[in-house]
Amino acid sequence: MSQFNNQRTDNLKIFTLNFSDINGRLDPLYYYSVNNLEIVNKTIYPIKKLCQVIDMQRGRFGHRPRNEPKLYGGEYPFIQTGDIVRASQSNGKITYSQTLNELGLKTSRLFDKPVVVITIAANIGDTAILDYPACFPDSLIGMTPKNNELTLQYINLYFKFIKSYLEDLAPQSAQKNINYQQLSPVPIVVPPLEIQDKAVELYEKALHESQQQQQQAQALLASIDTYLLTELGITLPEQDNSLEKRMFRVSFQQITGERFDAPIQMSQFSLHSTKYPMKRLTQSFIFNPKTIIDTKICSFIPMEKISDESGSITSVAETIEPSTSLGYTQFQDNDLLWARITPCMQNGKSAVATGLINGVGLGSTEYLIFRALHENNIHYLHAILRLCYLRRSAMLYFGGATGHQRVSPIFFKRMKIPLPPIQKQNEIAEHIQAIRTQAKQLQTQAEQLLANAKAHIEQMILGQ
């Protein structure tokens, strides 16, 4: 024992526990979480187990197969896990896309009074208030207060503070899940009702203000396409999907060496500008250029390091040794990385690489690389290739298996783009970057609003 005590140990991972506190589960992670749940350990208010103050009823849907058509299409809303996750993230009303009929109701359970619904499978600990009669499956549990000690709104809010704790309750398996027995002893702080109401009011106000700023940020980002098209004098062609337009002739010369797909030949994709000359993309930008990397280390940019929202690389700090890492896509500073695979392409995963370690990098084989020629602005090209209209049109050039479809290089090799003078390219690129910077500031402020509110609410629950 003395030898053990003399060894260097991590005091944060070693703790004592009363035998009487072990409730049928010898799981260090579970008890570590309980001991370190600060909102419980430091509060001045009473602490109860969920089972003492909350009635819990698991949803039900016993029929197999679950997708039997004869059970659906009635008047009873049928809530799914995804519906709760979305409502939890927005703190909004639970929406649904499925309904049960009388036959489906017989295999399920109707919750006809307001309940807090919590997810217990795959997604753990997301909650939302269900305020209309509905059914849901056994991957969800409905919770209501047993007495007037707790409000539904406070219960819903409280679970936002212990979500990571609940995730630790789930056994490590292919799909995480928890059950009623694991939820029952979960501790809940029971402050006075006036404190509960103030905490809920504070959170809802902060969330409303945060959502407004997020909406402003999204509106700014959505305005980029309109700005770019207007500056370049581009009017997008209207899509005519009439039967007459879907029957057409194409000369053999037009399809020689190209694709034989009818949708591609019918496509009216065009970025024709009334202000500037049209040039083939490959005349002004190198498509998939060769990059020589002769350094010992360089940046590694996997797909997840590119933000589809901001169109930027989130970090260039991860490194890789090129000599032992064959097969990756190579690029250098000021190259444009454009994801060609679904769904990354549709989501807009693309970014200009800057600040790479030793000026070079390796990344996913699913990147297409573009490099500016003749003093053109690569950020200008990035703005064009992020156009929603262009990305929708690129889907016509998908090839490969379903779920792993990739845009064909033909799409870019035949593409023509407006090419204004470099001064105008710079002006457009700088204006778009200013819009993105403003949107990012709004998003940061929105996140900070919620963080400040949560910190304040935590102090209220602690009684400080």
pLDDT (tens digit per residue) in 383-437? 999 999 999 999 988 887 666 899 999 899 989 999 999 999 999 999 999 999 9
pLDDT of residue 7: 43
Average pLDDT over residues 208-231: 96
d(CA 365, CA 130): 45
pLDDT band at 229 (very low <50, low <70, confident <90, very high): very high
pLDDT digits (tens, 9 = 90+) for 318-354: 999 998 888 899 999 999 999 999 999 999 999 999 9
422-462 vs 193-232: helix axis angle to the nearest 10? Answer: 180
On the question of a cis peptide bond just before residue 185, with omega within 30 degrees of 0, the verdict is: no
**134, β-bridge pairs:** 111
Q: 2-190 — its CATH code?
A: 3.90.220.20
**Residue whose C-alpha is closest to residue 110's, from 91, 130, 136:** 136
**Residue whose C-alpha is closest to residue 136's, from 152, 161, 153, 116:** 116
CATH topology of domain 235-270+277-419: Adenine-n6-DNA-methyltransferase TaqI; Chain A, domain 2 (3.90.220)
**417, β-bridge pairs:** 279
- Asked whether the predicted pLDDT for residue 87 surpasses 50, the reply is yes
- Asked whether the predicted pLDDT for residue 108 surpasses 60, the reply is yes
| H and E: helices and strands count for the chain | 19, 24
Q: At 117, which amino acid appears?
A: V
d(CA 8, CA 11): 9
